[in-house]
Amino acid sequence: MSRLDEIAHNLRVVQDRIRVTCEKAKRDVNEITLIAVTKTFGVEDLKLLYSLGLRQFGENRDQEASKKCKDLPDDINWHFQGQIQSNKLKSICSWANCIQSVDQLKHAQIISDLSIDSPKSIFIQVSLDDPPESRGGVDPAKLEELAFQITKLPGVKIKGLMAVAPADNADAQAFINLQHIHTNFKSKFPLAKSLSAGMSGDLEVAILHGATHLRIGSSILGNRVPL
């Protein structure tokens, strides 16, 4: 099987999982944005994904992504979803259309200053870990205040919330909590309609609990070789 056939097959399986789950959840499949998480994979794989129609790519390292995007068409929507370092933000803002992993006001301020001419889409990352914030993301108890401060910044637009399920918690409870946090959040920040949750192993439970953006890596591209 060629690499193109392999990726095309994997992509169909993922799209079927999304479609079946949307039917079960009585949700419109067009509400779901599939982001192919392309970190660690070479630019040839990204070109294959592009040829299969994908236009949303997720990366978590600035150096890697800023190189890859030079070799790809410019109608791709690039998502940065890794841990943010202040000194990398200038570069990240030069290629990322959306920054999914904002969890500190000081980072949002830098992004805003860099994006005054064309405000940057961001998600606020919420921690679902116990104790909170152990792997990035803001403590849910501090989310509203952070978002309130961020709404004052002219160069960023909060699209929604992003979260990663706790490593040791495969059941639905984390996603139930997250949906509750997001519903409450939208009542205060009505423009923040999106919820980025769901990876290869948990996309079904994420869709059942309101995810609008899925970040899928290994189910489409196979196992990553550790860097």
Ligand X SMILES: *Cc1c(COP(=O)(O)O)cnc(C)c1O
158 vs 165 by CB, closer to ligand X: 165
The residue within the footprint of ligand X, chosen from 37, 76, 138, 178 (CB under 6 A), is 37
Considering the complex, what minimum distance in angstroms separates the CB of residue 156 from ligand X? 19
Q: Could you tell me the smallest distance in angstroms from the CB atom of residue 37 to ligand X?
A: 4
Q: With binding defined as CB under 6 A, does residue 60 bind ligand X?
A: yes
The binder of ligand X chosen from 81, 115, 179, 212 (CB under 6 A): 81
Our CB check for ligand X shows the closer of 42 and 201 to be: 201
- Give 56 or 81: the residue with its C-beta nearer to ligand X: 81
CB of 218 to ligand X, least distance (A): 3
At 37, list the tokens. 């998480």
Residues within window 189-208 making contact with ligand X, judged by CB under 6 A: 199-201
Give how many residues touch ligand X by CB under 6 A: 13
Residue (10 or 177) nearer to ligand X, CB? 10
Provide the mask over 113-152, with x wherever binding to ligand X is found by CB under 6 A and - wherever it is not. ----------------------------------------
Cβ proximity to ligand X: between 172 and 199 the closer is 199
The dihedral region occupied by 84, where left means phi > 0, alpha psi between -120 and 50, and beta the remainder, is beta
Q: CA–CA distance from 78 to each of 50, 72, 96, 122 (Å)?
A: 12, 11, 5, 12
The interface region with ligand X, picked from 89-97, 105-113, 165-173, 216-224 by CB under 6 A, is: 216-224
Residues that bind ligand X (CB under 6 A): 37, 39, 60, 81, 164, 199-201, 215-219
